[in-house]
Chains A and B, each alone.
Chain A
Amino acid sequence: MVVPESALKPVPAPQVVQSPSGESSRGSLELQLPELKPPTTLAPGLLLALGKRKQRLRLSEFQQGVDQELPLSPGPLTEPHGNAGASSLTSSLNLALATPPVPQSVQRPGLARRPPTRRAVDVGAFLQDLQDTSVALALPGDSLRTPVATLPTDTVLEDTQPFSQPLIGRSPNVRHSLPCPSSSAERTVGRRTQSSGPRLQNNSPGRPDQLLVGKAEEVDALAVGFPNTSNSSSGEDGLQPLQDGVGEEAEDVMEESLSMSDEEEAAGAQGSARAEEPKTHKEGTEAEGSWGATEAKELEGPSRDKDTAGRTGSPELTSITLEFQQARQLEFLEPAQPTSTAVGLFRQQSIPAPSLPPEPLSARRPPRARTAGPRLRQDPYKTGLSHYAKLFSFYTKMPMEKAALEMVEKCLDKYFQHLCDDLEVFAAHAGRKTVRPEDLELLLRRQGLVTDQVSLHVLVERHLPLQYRQLLIPCAFSGNTVFPAQ
């Protein structure tokens, strides 16, 4: 199963880290890593167990699981999730999720210690919300998954494993996953934070509304969520565990996101390309759905926390996650349609709730609209100037600094102003309202470029390409014609 593969992937990774452990079972797992890409059917429980358990059970259980190909010992990982039962997406998602957490847990054993708290009820509600939101949101948005998304998704994915189906499919996935959210979530979470998975689920139902908000929000939410989780100040039960999970995840997010993206891709075979990088379509991919759901959950949690409890420390996480993800997400999201971005972000947060609180959306939308104006005006002008600035660096044949290039653009700006003024004066002097080539020649002469020795035609021939030369320099053609006409 895809899940098992992804789970294996992360597991082998940590195992590799733990070289001393090099047990046969691990070795087998490691070997399986390469097989990860193509979803191989591994004991789903095994992988799930691996993911979930990240630290504690991972090694021991993993080995057991590997040997037995049975789901890892019950624990945070709820085998009952029906590891294999979950849609491939979920499994793939779980894998994806699982992988990041596993390495993380290895790296940070302390973080992994989190008793998984699962709430079946919450999950159900969450799933429904996810489905609703996912359906509402354009799936294509999911494709944009930004790195931020990946971060939260890790936790989210884990939870949403059962859901793994894509948004469009996501809702169904969500629904499916919901039934065994706890189990699947646990599995997915197992990677990073087992508890976070279930928490996410719990949180997500509450958050789906929040998640839908524009990507900015999501990112912020993520950031907030992370800090929140770290702070665990939120009063909500689900939030806290989620937050904690998020906090952990936030830290590992960076790592995970990277790893996740890889895993996702691997798992994505089934689910989708949820890969952090903006994948345009991934709606269909289950992984996305589940992944997004998990993310949404996470995001929701944090966003909720924001709303509910004072976010503390969110700025830290926010900055971290924001930088990382925003850079990616914003880029992707902004160009993408707002809905899509929202969806994509949503995915990350895995908050399918279509009714996200308007504030996050509004917060995100207006800035976008505002930047539209000045951006349009600046861009074509800037691009034109940079076109000449590039020629400058070509003429100097020397390396240049970026500041020097900007200085060149400023000089060009001044130069254009002078040029227009001079042309206006010359045309007015000739009693015309149209600038003619004679005015230009007079300007060049006054600048000292055209002298008695160097005529305008010489300059034209030297510096302009042939096509322009033909347009400027009158030439005699057959039939007693001259072009351009004088």
Chain B
Amino acid sequence: MALSTTVSQSKRIKRKAPRGFLKRIFKRQKPHLRLESSCDLLVHLNCLLFIRRLAEESRANACKNKCGIIKDQHVLAAAKVILKKSRG
């Protein structure tokens, strides 16, 4: 039959999504709006993709400067580009 809305099988999930944290953030920013239950999972997906893009861009910046370590200026430059892209 239909599975329950809660996660079953193997109670432990690797890389859990901080659903409560995301819900709280949304509520803090837009208290007059409501967020559906499955939406925070998509928000989490969006965050993952954003972080992934940011990380790849930062890594490219660091490699461009021939640096073995990612510094904050690499991250800053990468953030400028990626934030613009993910403005929607």
CB within 8 Å of B: which residues of A? 380-381, 383-384, 387-388, 391-393, 395-401, 403-404, 406-408, 411-412, 414-424, 427, 433-437, 439-441, 443-444, 446-449, 456, 459-460, 463-468, 470-472, 477-479, 481-485
In the complex, what's the smallest C-beta–C-beta distance from B69 to chain A, in angstroms? 5
Q: A411-B54, A477-B1 are in contact. List 19 more A-B contacts (CB 8 A).
A: A384-B25, A388-B51, A403-B72, A407-B75, A408-B79, A419-B46, A422-B87, A434-B34, A437-B38, A437-B39, A446-B88, A447-B87, A449-B49, A459-B49, A463-B49, A468-B44, A471-B38, A472-B38, A472-B42
Q: Is the CB of B43 within 8 A of A419?
A: yes
B38 touches A391 (CB 8 A): no
What 7 A-B pairs come out closest when comparing CB atoms? A395-B55, A467-B7, A384-B21, A483-B2, A440-B42, A446-B88, A420-B29
Q: What's the dominant secondary structure at chain B's contact region?
A: helix
Does A418 contact B7, Cβ atoms closer than 8 Å?
A: no
Question: Within 8 Å CB of B34, what residues of A?
Answer: 433-435
Contact count A vs B, C-beta below 8 Å: 184
Q: How distant is the Cα of A392 from the Cα of B75 in the complex, in angstroms?
A: 11
Q: A418-B86, A447-B86, A477-B2 are in contact. Are A411 and B79 (CB under 8 A)?
A: yes
Contact of B7 among A449, A459, A468, A478 (CB under 8 A): A468
- Flag if B55 contacts A392 (CB, 8 Å): yes
A/B interface sample: 8 pairs, CB < 8 A: A380-B21, A404-B71, A408-B79, A411-B79, A423-B33, A434-B36, A435-B26, A477-B2
A478 CA to B3 CA in the complex, in Å?
Answer: 11
How many Å from the CB of A312 to the closest CB on chain B? 43
Q: What residues of chain B lie closer than 8 Å to A443, measured between beta carbons? A: 46, 88
| Structural contact, B85 and A447, CB atoms closer than 8 A | yes
On whether A424 and B2 interact (CB within 8 A), knowing A388-B47, A391-B48, the answer reads: no
Which B residue sits closest to A440, measured CB to CB?
B42
Q: Could you say which residues of chain B place their CB within 8 Å of the CB of A463?
A: 45, 48-49
Closest to A485 in B: B2
Look across to chain B and name the residue whose beta carbon is closest to the beta carbon of A460: B45
Interface status of B14 (Cβ within 8 A of chain A): yes
A454 and B28 alpha carbons, distance in the complex (Å) = 32
**Complex CA distance for A400 and B43, rounded to whole angstroms:** 26
Q: Is the CB of B87 within 8 A of A401?
A: no
Q: In the complex, are the beta carbons of B29 and A416 less than 8 A apart?
A: yes
Q: Which residues of B contact A419 (CB under 8 A)?
A: 43, 46
Q: Using CB atoms, name the residue of chain B closest to A434.
A: B34
What is the minimal beta-carbon distance from A376 to any residue of chain B, in angstroms?
13
Q: Which of B56-84 contact A (CB under 8 A)?
A: 56, 58-59, 62, 68-72, 74-76, 79, 82-83
Contact (A440, B43) CB under 8 Å given A396-B59, A415-B86: yes
Residues of A within 8 A of B55 (CB): 392-393, 395-396
B33 contact from A381, A434, A464, A467, Cβ within 8 A:
A434
Minimum CB–CB distance from B37 to chain A (whole Å) comes to: 8
Beta-carbon contact of A471 and B7 below 8 Å: yes
Closest beta carbon of chain B to A67's beta carbon, Å? 61
Closest residue of chain B to A416, judged by CB? B25
Residues of B within 8 A of A391 (CB): 48, 51
* Set B46, B79, B87: member contacting A444, Cβ < 8 A: B46
What is the bound-complex CA distance between A468 and B35, given in angstroms? Answer: 17
Tell me the complex Cα distance, A411–B75, Å. 9
Given A398-B68, A408-B75, A468-B7, CB of A417 within 8 Å of CB of B83: no
Is B69 a contact of A401 with CB atoms below 8 Å?
yes
| Inter-chain contacts of B3 with A (CB < 8 A) | 470, 477, 483
Cβ contact of B8, chosen from A398, A416, A448, A467, cutoff 8 A: A467
A399 and B70 form a contact (CB under 8 A) = yes
Contact call B36/A398, Cβ cutoff below 8 A? no
Q: When chains A and B are docked, how far (Å) is the Cα of A396 from the Cα of B55?
A: 5
User: A395 and B7: CB pair below 8 A?
Assistant: no
Q: Are A401's CB and B88's CB within 8 A?
A: no
Given contacts A401-B69, A406-B72, contact A465 B13 (CB under 8 A): yes
Point out the residues of chain B lying under 8 angstroms from A417, CB to CB.
29
Also in contact, A403 and B71, with CB within 8 A (given A391-B48, A433-B34): yes
Residues of A within 8 A of B42 (CB): 437, 440-441, 444, 456, 460, 472
Q: What B residues does A435 contact at CB under 8 A?
A: 26, 33-36, 39
Evaluate contact between A415 and B50: CB separation under 8 angstroms: yes
Cross-chain contact of A399 among B45, B56, B69 (Cβ < 8 A): B69
